[in-house]
Homo-oligomer: A and B are copies of this chain.
Amino acid sequence: MNEIIDALNKFRDEREWSQFHNPKDLSVALSIEAGELLEAFLWKQPEDADPDKIKEELADVFSFAFLLADACQLDVKDIVL
């Protein structure tokens, strides 16, 4: 997981985004992405969702969740288990 978090932080820093990445807006971003993920399932049976859309939006959910965990100095394994 450290590899993921390092890559996300690098991506963020290359774009000078850290100035915007306060925990509140990261949580807002996470909620927006969770909504976009839901779109893959809207008006559909669970098995009819578009796998590529799920993959793309779930990746965005994870990205903001990891960035928020890092911003709050939380260890993902520690908090989940």
User: Which residues of A are in contact with B by a Cβ distance under 8 Å?
Assistant: 1, 3-4, 7-8, 20, 22-25, 27-32, 34-47, 49, 51, 54-56, 58-59, 61-63, 65-66, 68-69, 72, 74, 76-77, 79-81
Given contacts A58-B65, A62-B80, A80-B59, A32 and B28 within 8 Å (CB-CB): no
Contact A4 B69 (CB under 8 A): no
Closest Cβ of chain B to A45, distance in Å, is 8
Oligomeric state, in number of copies?
4
Contact B25 A28 (CB under 8 A): no
Contact A59 B79 (CB under 8 A): yes
- 26 example contacts (A-B, Cβ-Cβ < 8 A) are as follows A1-B1, A7-B80, A7-B81, A8-B80, A20-B43, A22-B46, A23-B46, A24-B41, A24-B49, A27-B38, A27-B40, A28-B28, A28-B38, A29-B42, A29-B43, A30-B37, A31-B34, A32-B36, A32-B39, A35-B36, A54-B68, A58-B72, A61-B61, A61-B65, A62-B65, A66-B80
